[in-house]
Chain A
Amino acid sequence: MKIFIPTPLRVYADKQDAVQVNAQTVEEALSALTSQHPDLKKHLYSDEGKLRAFVNVYLNDEDVRYLPEKEATSVTEADSLSIIPSIAGGC
């Protein structure tokens, strides 16, 4: 499956906009991604090993945090993951 990398993190993924991985679940896919590109890990995960609060991971159009099985959700080759840092602010 494909994992789409947002512009700020591509520098840690050999400047690729997408990375191909083999995985059965979302967790395996993310693990494969950080195995291929270890520098991504500290940008995606806190020191406690949890996805950083501002890092959103979408399986196709679904927020993984709100899927019943979350990161244990099964994936197929046709699925894609998008990593999307949040955007917010205000005066």
Chain B
Amino acid sequence: MLKLSETIYIALRTHGEETYPHECCGVLLGRSHEGVNEVEDAVRAGNTRTDSAHNRYHIAPQELVRIQRQGRERGLDIVGFYHSHPDHPAQWSKTDFAEAHWLGCSYVITTVANGVAQQTNSFLLTGTSEDDKSFQDETIQVEELVAGRC
């Protein structure tokens, strides 16, 4: 299961709308325990695939190193990633699968149709190695904002 706040959920979907018709991408920082990836922060990343940004994304490893370091300083780990599929279903593609190497992490995909975020799905990369890895559908639990009491 992937748990995140409504604020973060909205933020990663909004990111996809802002970069449309190009793919957005980012990193989910949080904690992983007992089969739950709990997100504390979504960090926007640049898409280096400027040659084909409408249907490809790639996060520079140097940016990942920086984000991982920032997370570590806050006691957070990389628990997942997100990206958008402009005018394509929120389903992992062959490219997504081939390029997925973070076992145990959540891969969140949002369809952005005509500039508007639609379906958001999450897929958990399971397995023990490159040889037996697979994507499994994962429930997204969005913690709704609770209005403060006077």
Binding site for B on A (CB under 8 A): 4, 6-8, 11, 17, 42-43, 52, 54-56, 58, 61, 63, 82, 84-91
Contacts and interface: CB of A to CB of B under 8 A. Distances in A.
- Chain B contact patch, size range: 35 or more
A43 B100 CA distance: 14
Contacts of B104: 7-8, 11
B145 interface: no
Contacts, number: 97
Contacts of B69: 82
Contact of A17 (B77, B101, B107): B77
B102 A7 contact: yes
A11 to B, nearest CB: 8
A31 to B, nearest CB: 21
Contacts of A61: 62, 65-66
A18 to B, nearest CB: 9
Contacts of A86: 58, 61, 99, 101
27 contacts: A4-B72, A6-B78, A7-B32, A7-B77, A7-B78, A8-B101, A11-B104, A43-B129, A63-B61, A84-B65, A87-B27, A87-B59, A88-B49, A88-B58, A88-B59, A88-B95, A88-B99, A89-B95, A89-B96, A89-B98, A89-B99, A90-B83, A90-B85, A90-B93, A90-B96, A91-B23, A91-B95
